[in-house]
A and B are shown apart, each in its own frame.
Chain A
Amino acid sequence: MAPENFSYQDTIGIASFLGRGFMNPVDVRLDSTGMMFVLSRSNAGNKNVRISAVTLDSEFQYEFANWGTEPGQTTMPTAIAFDSQDRVYVPDEHMNNISVFERDGTFVKRWGELGSEPGQFNRPSGLVIDSEDNVLVMDHLNARVQKLSPDGDYISSFGSEGNGPGEFNFAWGISLDSDDGIWIADWRNDRVQRFTANGEFVSTIGSTGTGDGEFDRPSGVHVDDSGQVYIADWRNNRVQVFNNDGGHIETLTGDATLSKWCQEFVDVNPEQAGWRENAGLFEEEKRFWRPSAIETNSDGLVLIADACRHRIQIYSKVPEPALT
């Protein structure tokens, strides 16, 4: 069934171990110029991790943050975020640090180490940057959100382990609304928690399940300019959309068409195109498989990282009908 409040626009991506394409994209962000940056996670052992810069009309530009433990490399990266200067911040849950790059991929610095003291990390997962360029990190095995300066100096933190208000269980994604309010995908508690900019608990969306407003390991959360909340319902293979008060609006399950890159692949590989035709799984091809993160822009575009199908599915918000 076609979505009511969104229209499917396009898909960008193809499975690729390096270069043009992605390998298990777990995060997607737009910089201030509208360039799309996609974080390929893969398995650490398969060494296909990287950040790819791609235009929204499917032109691959360059990649960086490839696999490794040296400065400028990543091993188990979890997220990407831009500061006001379009510098890219990347947490790594194997090395327990944050790497910073210029938007052209030039390595700038990295900071952080394993531990539970202020400024240390135990598997940083989600990361977001506030209006003052402070860095908020979901330090997930320490069950806390840490607020740090751009150089990694500790400012404050909140959260503890558990399933009560303000408590976390393997939390993953983090997002800020227009007031710097903090939203956390509390992954193993199957809920999203909302906090003020100071870390005071406000409310919760969701519980365990498969119905509307229920989740099975929500990985990513994103709040758009209008306050609409998008949640990647990871193991239910869908994205649920809520209003700012937690009211369910819509569920997206994926509408992908063949991306430009996939179409080119099929066109030059007639034998494999034949397999695809004979299999006839065209409906299955459309669906999300472990969608992990969501990004939006001020034009109403919604980008969804479809991790196990190696692509970004793009929707646009359908404008509300004009009053008559």
Chain B
Amino acid sequence: MTTVSNRQSTDVALMAHLLRRAGFGATRNEIDEYLKKGYEAVVEELLYPDHGEMEDQDLVDRYFIASVEARSAGHADPQWAWRLATSPKPLEEKISLFWHGLMAVGGVKLDHGLEMLTEIELFRQFGLGRFEDLLLEISRNPGMMYWLDNQNSHKGAPNENYGRELLELFAMGIDESGEGAYTEDDVKAAARAFTGWASKVTPPPFFLGPFPMEFQFDPEDHDDSEKTFLGQTGNWNGDDIVRMICGHRAAAHFVALRLYDYFVSDTPNEAEIERLTDVFQANDGEIRSVLREIFNSDHFKSEEVRFKKMKSPSDLVFGTTRLVDRFEIPESDSGNLANNTMFMGQHLMNPPSVEGWHEGEEWVDSGALIERINFASTEVSRLDARGVQEMLERVQSAGDELNSEAFVDACLDGLGAIDASARTKSILIDHADRYGTPWEREAPDAIERTIEMFQLIVSTPDYQYC
């Protein structure tokens, strides 16, 4: 029989799961606020962020003036890091991170932080809408044109880089044998269709800083002759190529697979992916519709996928930062948050290649694990942070005296209603038992014991998963 208490507990766990996947997690108090709205209403709220400048954008600009005219990805870090750490529209940032990894442009070649920020903004604006609109925008993004050498793609001498990556990495994909739903001739046709699409030359940033990049189409340099692409023949240009790609089931399947991988599980479930592919096609390729289907599905809500997905460095760093809620306004430390993800293997705005990052278990090696544990355990011990105080209050409100199991449960709940395996929980309880006495709210060591348990929990393998 399901009791009221059990149902509440289930609701809390489910809401926490949604917020970890559709965002970067939430504090226990935030979860309570979301619960008042109800699960499906929260899904809709997440799916429809009010796009625009954040209220404290002026403060980020003021305290990090070099990020306004960001000459490099490193100079731009404080801008995106602040939004990742504090935006009240978490899915807008999460989907931007998704597209940034999928349509990767990096500072190693595009040494232009201002343009990198423009591209992230493009992902915010179009990332939840129709895939076709997003692809059209990214195909006119001057940073992307530069990154994939399209300024060197000329009528009569096309450069195939953009056409190839568009098909292989951005929109249709290849299988393990290297085969895709397209041919080498399709790559060549796409490259010809994108000739004349380029980024306008900008002054070098070395003496006056960067200038905004601009897209430029040169009709004289565009090959407008007949081409055959995906079996259709015509005088196709880049827009036509994008439209034909997006009408192909392979593109729908590719996007569904990547969304499933990012939001649901590192292990593909082909039946679910096929279902999402249908949803993509039935909704004109709208990403929001696919995500709605994901978040409201029984599969997503099931125990089968909870705490099974490895946190990316951004999930770990910004999730923990949000949990401890220590930044009221930008400060020097908030400008350095992106350094922490870099130390863990995810250099924002500077992915290792056009392939983006390899996600899942590949995020963690011994060095990255130490960085993760050190970062998280330091953050949850910050007594001056508002979120840590809230976490302590949560534990304190669980009772005047708690046995070891109840104390561990209260700490797990305070850390944003997270869960731990039976084995991990047993180890945590054993540690709590070492004190030899129950945890007491009024005891002199109550706070010290609680912070120590917080640190222990975020050091477990379980905290590395979301």
Contacts and interface: CB of A to CB of B under 8 A. Distances in A.
Contacts of A15: 71, 205-209
Chain A's interface: helix, strand, loop or mixed, by majority?
mixed
Nearest to A262: B207
B332 A309 contact: no
B67 A170 contact: no
Given A235-B58, A279-B200, A45 B207 contact: no
Nearest to B59: A170
Nearest to A26: B65
B335 interface: yes
A290 interface: yes
Place the interface of chain A in its size category.
Answer: 35 or more
A308 B332 contact: no
Contacts of A188: 58
Given A44-B335, A284-B211, A290 B65 contact: yes
Q: Which of B61, B68, B208, B335 has the most CB of A within 10 A?
A: B208
A27 to B, nearest CB: 12
A262 B59 CA distance: 31
Contacts of A170: 59, 62
Interface string B203-224: 1111111010000000000000
A238 interface: no
B63 interface: yes
Interface string A248-281: 0000000000000110011001001001101101
Contacts of A235: 58, 61
A76 B74 contact: no
Interface string B313-344: 00000000000000000011001100100000
14 contacts: A15-B205, A23-B66, A41-B65, A43-B75, A44-B64, A235-B58, A235-B61, A275-B201, A281-B211, A285-B208, A290-B69, A292-B65, A308-B68, A311-B208
A81 B118 CA distance: 37
Contact of B202 (A279, A290, A311): A279
B205 to A, nearest CB: 7
Given A217-B58, A275-B201, A290 B68 contact: yes
A269 B204 CA distance: 10
A262 B208 contact: yes
A45 B209 contact: no
A281 B211 CA distance: 9
B78 interface: yes
B64 A43 contact: yes
A307 interface: yes
Contacts of A236: none
A84 B190 CA distance: 70
B77 interface: yes
Contact of A43 (B59, B78, B200): B78
B65 A45 contact: no
Nearest to B337: A45
Contacts of A52: none
Given A76-B63, A170-B62, A308-B68, 17 more contacts: A15-B208, A41-B65, A45-B74, A45-B332, A187-B62, A217-B62, A235-B61, A266-B207, A275-B204, A279-B201, A279-B202, A285-B208, A290-B61, A290-B69, A292-B65, A309-B69, A311-B208
Contact of B66 (A43, A285, A292): A43
A193 interface: no
Interface in B60-115: 61-69, 71, 74-75, 77-78
A41 B62 CA distance: 10
A266 B204 CA distance: 10
A289 B332 contact: no
A269 B64 CA distance: 30
A94 interface: yes
A94 B207 contact: no
B199 to A, nearest CB: 11
Nearest to B205: A15
Given A290-B65, A290-B68, A310 B209 contact: yes
A44 B200 CA distance: 32
Interface string A17-57: 00000011010000000000000011111101000000000
Contacts of B209: 15, 289, 308-310
Contacts of A45: 74, 77-78, 332, 335-336, 339
A276 B66 contact: no
A276 B63 CA distance: 30
A292 B68 CA distance: 13
Contacts of A307: 65
Interface string B397-436: 0000000000000000000000000000000000000000
A188 to B, nearest CB: 7
Interface in A69-87: 75-76
B141 to A, nearest CB: 18
B332 A310 contact: no
Shortest 3 CB-CB contacts between residues of A and residues of B: A308-B69, A272-B204, A43-B66
B74 to A, nearest CB: 7
Contacts of A310: 207-209
Interface in B185-209: 200-209
A281 B202 contact: yes
A41 B207 CA distance: 17
Q: Which of A43, A187, A188 has the most CB of B within 10 A?
A: A43
B79 to A, nearest CB: 10
Contacts of A76: 63, 332
A290 B209 CA distance: 13
Contacts of B71: 15
Contacts of A269: 204, 206
A170 B329 CA distance: 11
Contacts of A176: none
Interface in A146-193: 170, 172, 187-188
A312 interface: no
A308 B204 CA distance: 15
Nearest to B64: A43
A253 B201 CA distance: 24
A43 B65 contact: yes
A14 interface: yes
A14 B207 contact: yes
A265 B204 CA distance: 11
